[in-house]
Amino acid sequence: MTKVEEKNAEQSYDVIVVGGGPAGLCAAMYAGRGMLNTLVIERGLPGGEMLNTDLIEDYIGFESIKGPELANLMANHAKKFGAEIIMDTVESIARRDDGDFDVITQLGKTYRAPAVILTAGGTPRKLNVSGEADYAGRGVSYCAVCDGAFFKGAVLAVVGGGDAAVEEADYLTRYAERVFIIHRRDQFRASPLIQKRAFNNPKIEVVWNRVVEEIRGDENGVNQLLLKDTVTGEESTLAVGGVFIFIGFSPNSGLIKGHFEHDAGGYIITDSRMMTSIPGLFAAGDLRVQLVRQITTAVGDATTAAMAVEKYLSEKRDREQEHGKQEKEAVAST
């Protein structure tokens, strides 16, 4: 065996899980229970978006738990069953001619496995308005838990109308003097319970039917938003010391090299086993086409995917053994 082959052999696994959020950690736990040699590659600390969530109150069995605490519990559970978790950023996933996958990372590593479970979630969507990039980290944020404490006593704006936006607005009131929720429509998409909590919070004021046209500021950071009325087209300004943007995520499905079935938004289409249109490549969690995206749906997807991988690898071994047997019989008969 050459040194290159030896290196590749040392970096070979039964299954590679790309992404260490709830879907990835659950998949790793089940794969480990199935006695599969499992690698999890996560660009940051294990936990994904749970690390950016203060309180989780909709995960069955936990009436209320801190996001980082649940992330730690999940990571330890996966490790207990032998999963290896490393911090690196996956740059591409490519299927080889022999059916295995090469997973290439930012640190220049190549990991190989006959099956991959992609659970890389998504990237926060940006408003793509003037000033957003200029003031990123100086008043523009996409994570209330990460940055909320920097805005004690400030007036803040939250852009969005889904669960994340309304929930994070409520969270920010523990630091801010006042929080405006700016939503392009006249009603939220957030769940009724989350809406009720926000409406009952005296520090929150909703600005309906408005979109952000520009984020303005100076050397000290953000100080004003230019808003446009979605009904009348009228423009107005709002003085704020920071803006938190929660308008959804774009799926990280671009890691896949080669054609795969997806919807118009880039979300991956899978079958009932969570397998994509590429044999051996499975997807679970937020980057998969589905009605809702919650921790519960992520771990459900992951459970199915991990068990399907076990069956897929078993059937693959059986086929290879049968093929080898047929080749031997063919040689013997000549």
Contact 37, 309 (CB under 8 A): no
Q: What is the pLDDT of residue 34?
A: 96
> Confidence band (pLDDT; 50, 70, 90) for 320?
confident
Q: What is the mean pLDDT of residues 16-30?
A: 98
Same structural domain, 235 and 156: yes
Q: Are residues 287 and 241 in the same domain?
A: no
- Mean pLDDT across the chain, nearest whole number? 92
pLDDT in tens, 257-291: 999 999 998 999 999 999 999 999 999 999 999 88
- Output b/e per residue, 243-269; b: 16+ Cβ within 10 A: bbbbbebbbbbebbeeebebeeeebbe
pLDDT of residue 10: 55
What is the domain range of residue 205?
140-245
Segment 148-188, tens digit of pLDDT: 999 999 999 999 999 999 999 999 999 999 999 999 999 99
Cβ contacts of residue 74 below 8 Å, gap of 6+? Answer: 22, 25, 26, 29, 46, 47, 50
What integer is the mean pLDDT of 21-35? 97
Q: Which of 147, 163, 286, 301 is catalytic?
A: 147
Residues 83, 231: one domain? no
Our answer to whether residue 26 is catalytic in this structure is no
Q: What is the mean pLDDT of residues 132-157?
A: 93
Burial label for 204, CB within 10 Å (0-12, 13-18, 19+), is buried
143 as an active site residue: the answer is: yes
On the 0-12 / 13-18 / 19+ scale of CB atoms within 10 A, 164 is buried
**pTM for this predicted structure:** 0.80
On the question of pLDDT at 1 being above 50, the answer is no
Beta strands in 252-321 (DSSP E): 256-257, 281-283
- Count the neighbouring beta carbons within 10 Å of the beta carbon of residue 130: 13
Domain shared by 119 and 25, yes or no: yes
Burial class (CB in 10 A: 0-12, 13-18, 19+), 206: buried
Which CATH number fits the domain that encloses residue 81?
Answer: 3.50.50.60
- List the catalytic residue out of 146, 186, 218, 318: 146
Residues forming beta bridges with residue 229, ordered by sequence position: 210
Of residues 54, 58, 143, 229, which has the active-site annotation? 143
* The most confident of 7-11, 37-41, 246-250, by mean pLDDT: 37-41
Least trusted range by pLDDT, from 48-62, 66-80, 83-97, 302-316 = 48-62
- pLDDT tens-digit map of 213-241: 999 999 999 999 999 999 999 999 999 99
- For residues 186 and 267, membership in a common domain is answered with no
What pLDDT does 7 receive? 46
| Active-site residue, 147 included | yes
- Report the number of distinct structural domains present in the chain: 2
Supply the pLDDT for residue 78.
Answer: 98
Q: Which of 228, 245, 262 is the last residue of a domain?
A: 245
Domain boundary among 227, 245, 263: 245
Examine the pLDDT at 318 and tell me if it is beyond 60: yes
